[in-house]
Amino acid sequence: MNATYSFEIDRARSLVRITMSGLFTLADVDGFVRDRREAHAALGCAPNRHLTLNDVTGMKIQHQEVVTAFREMLAAPEYRSRRLAFVAGPTLAKSQLMRALSGRDARCFEDVASAERWLFAPEA
């Protein structure tokens, strides 16, 4: 299954919704990074003040070099979300996601409603 992804921007809530599925190549990751940059620019909020909800329930197990590329992408400070939530099923792909998130203040949920409750909860 080929990689697919989409971005939905909610400017009023400074939220970017991402949906990702399939098996990614390094070229797909490069395209994703380019398109993510455009999505963040469309948000119109200050840098690092946005929220991100990423549904990866359709992701396949990724090759190690792709996991590494995603880890490097997530470590880039210029696009760091104020809060970052992932929706992922209980699969090996979720284990890969958790390794890629190492060092990030992000949370993983099994459904969108739980992720949204956390994203929009008042900050301490």
Strand partners, 8: 17
Question: Does residue 91 surpass a pLDDT of 80?
Answer: no
Q: Where are the domains of the chain?
A: 4-120
pLDDT in tens, 34-85: 999 999 999 999 999 999 999 999 988 899 999 899 988 888 888 899 999 9
Task: Please tell me which residue, 100 or 68, carries the higher pLDDT value.
Answer: 68
Q: How confident is the model at residue 111 (pLDDT cuts 50, 70, 90)?
A: very high
Q: Which residues make Cβ contacts (< 8 Å) with residue 75, sequence separation at least 6?
A: 103, 104
Rounded Cα gap, residues 66 and 17, in angstroms: 21
- Does the domain made of 4-120 have the CATH classification 3.30.750.24? yes
pLDDT in tens, 46-59: 999 999 999 999 98
Chain center to CA of 49: 15
